[in-house]
Chain A
Amino acid sequence: DGGITQSPKYLFRKEGQNVTLSCEQNLNHDAMYWYRQDPGQGLRLIYYSQIVNDFQKGDIAEGYSVSREKKESFPLTVTSAQKNPTAFYLCASSRDRGETQYFGPGTRLLVL
Chain B
Amino acid sequence: GQQLNQSPQSMFIQEGEDVSMNCTSSSIFNTWLWYKQDPGEGPVLLIALYKAGELTSNGRLTAQFGITRKDSFLNISASIPSDVGIYFCAGLPGGTSYGKLTFGQGTILTVHP
Q: How large is the interface on A (under 10, 10 to 19, 20 to 34, 35 or more residues)?
A: 20 to 34
Closest residue on chain B to residue A98 by CB atoms: B99
Q: B104 to chain A: which residues have CB within 8 Å?
A: 42
CA distance A33 to B92 in the complex (A): 14
Chain B residue with minimal CB distance to A10? B40
A-chain residues with CB within 8 Å of residue B98 when the two chains form the complex: 97-98
B103 and A42 contacting across the interface, CB-CB below 8 Å:
yes
Task: Find the B residue at minimum CB distance from A107.
Answer: B42
Given A42-B106, A100-B31, A103-B35, A31 and B45 touching (CB < 8 A)? no
User: How far does the alpha carbon of A106 sit from the alpha carbon of B33 in the complex, in Å?
Assistant: 19
The smallest C-beta distance from B1 to any residue of chain A, in angstroms, reads: 5
Q: Is A71 an interface residue (CB 8 A)?
A: no
B-facing mask of A43-77, CB < 8 A → 1, else 0? Answer: 10100101000000011000000000000000000
Q: Is the interface of B mostly helix, strand, loop or mixed?
A: loop
Is there an interface contact between B100 and A104, defined as CB atoms closer than 8 Å? no
A103 touches B1 (CB 8 A): no
Chain A min CB distance to B69 (Å): 15
Smallest CB separation, B43 vs chain A (Å): 5
Chain A 9-28 per-residue mask, 1 if CB under 8 angstroms from chain B, else 0 = 00000000000000000000
> Does the CB pair A42–B45 fall under 8 Å?
no
Instruction: Check B28 for interface membership: any CB of A closer than 8 A.
Output: no
| Contacting pair A106 B42 (CB below 8 A) | yes
Say whether A105 contacts B42, CB under 8 Å: yes
Whether, in the assembled complex, B11 has its beta carbon less than 8 Å from a beta carbon of chain A, the answer is: no
Taking Cβ atoms with an 8 Å cutoff, the residues of B that contact A are 1, 3-4, 30-31, 33, 35, 40-45, 48, 88, 90, 92, 94, 98-101, 103-106
